[in-house]
Amino acid sequence: MPDLKVGRSLKEPAGTSSRDEEKVGKTMATKSTTPSPGQNAQTVAESALGSVFPSSVSLVEQAIADAQAFQAAGEISAAIEKWRALAILVEGTDDTLAARAWFQAGLLLSAAGKDTDAVAAYDNAIRLRLGDAAVYLHRGKAKNALAQYEAALADLEQALSLDASVSAAYSARGIAKSGLGQHEAALADHEVALRLSPQCAEMYANRGFSKMLQGDDAAALADFDAALRLNPAMPMVYHYRGELKFFLGQYEASVADYDEAIRLEPSNAVYYTNRGLTKDSLGKNDAAFADYEEAIRVDAGLAQPYTYRAEEKLRWGRDAEAKVDLEIALKLALTAGDAMHQSYIEYKLKELDESGEGSN
């Protein structure tokens, strides 16, 4: 079986478990406001803000209003850039505002699945002395998503030391402890979270994820079902329930969950990739190929759909095209630091090369 069966988390990690050899997370590219040669960060920030603001209006006031407007309109990339530019512009004159701007950028980056960039934004907020529980909570959740469980645990401990009433911090700490193999302690944290927020779907979803890491599939399914009863608009929960059903051999039901995840969040390439893998297990190779194609269209920076598209091409005797896909996938896996998937691609390339030599 190929090594990808998992995508991102419920704002939490694609974690480690007994199924690790079959799981690969996701790394997404992001824009930045990195200055070009001859520019400094202040110049870039003023340019990014001033390009749309009349000179008679305060850049700061307009930046805040514009970032909020972009968010409301769903133009998340533009909103992130405005918050970043604002933070750079005011740092040194209003560090509190700069910290808040970095925090807002971090929240949007987290929501977009760009967790490495989100951690960097939260780092800047904390560097500028934004020391409330929320920033440590969200940095901890982003680190969970990157499977940096020790670092996540430290942040979540700090969040709870600042405010012991935050149910999401207990829930996220439970995820971190599960990732570290501290399963009993993890479940204790999830129980506290559910006592504090008994009607919160995310608390059930996160406990389900911890149980999934422990290999308690039936309990994980029950928690995912409970989460979706409380909030049926959680695409990542459908994704994880679909993944779990895949492992249980319930392929048609798995596809149905991926269908719903895609309906709710059509811009997530991992959903298409994993639905394609499930369809492949049903022998629906044409449909699987179409899902890999769509995943690449949605996010050309994700290695796995290139790999699995290559496998379909190999099945159809299109070896030269398959090799191109595998070479692209290898570059992307190297960039993402995804050693597990990199090894799988290298194995497929070696296998392809050896089969070519044998035919000569």
pLDDT at 51: 39
Question: Residue 360 to residues 155, 324, 353, 355, 357: CA-CA distances in angstroms?
Answer: 58, 20, 11, 9, 5
Domain for residue 158, yes or no?
no
User: How many Å is the maximal CA-CA distance in the chain?
Assistant: 73
SS3 category, 101? helix
Dump pLDDT digits (tens) for 193-208.
999 999 999 999 999 9
Amino acid at 274: N
* Strand spans (E) along the chain: none
Locate 210 and state its tokens: 């911890």
Dump pLDDT digits (tens) for 293-343.
999 999 999 999 999 999 999 999 999 999 999 999 999 999 988 899 999
pLDDT at 43: 40
Measured distance CA(192)–CA(195) in Å, rounded = 5
Domain for residue 294, yes or no?
no
Domain for residue 58, yes or no?
yes
Stretch 234-260: mean pLDDT, rounded? 96
Question: Do 322 and 303 form a contact (C-beta atoms < 8 A)?
Answer: no
Measured distance CA(36)–CA(30) in Å, rounded = 16
Domain for residue 72, yes or no?
yes
Dump pLDDT digits (tens) for 130-140.
889 999 999 99
Domain for residue 136, yes or no?
no
In eight-state DSSP terms, residue 20 is G
Domain for residue 63, yes or no?
yes
Domain for residue 346, yes or no?
no
Total domain count, the chain:
1
Place of tokens 């990195």: 34
Domain for residue 217, yes or no?
no
Question: Do 37 and 43 form a contact (C-beta atoms < 8 A)?
Answer: no
Q: Which domain covers residue 119, as residue numbers?
A: 39-130
Which CATH number characterizes residue 96's domain?
1.25.40
Measured distance CA(144)–CA(153) in Å, rounded = 8
Q: What is the DSSP string of 203-220?
A: HHHHHHHHHHHHT-HHHH
Which of the residue ranges 28-42, 108-122, 156-170, 312-326 would you say has the lowest mean pLDDT? 28-42
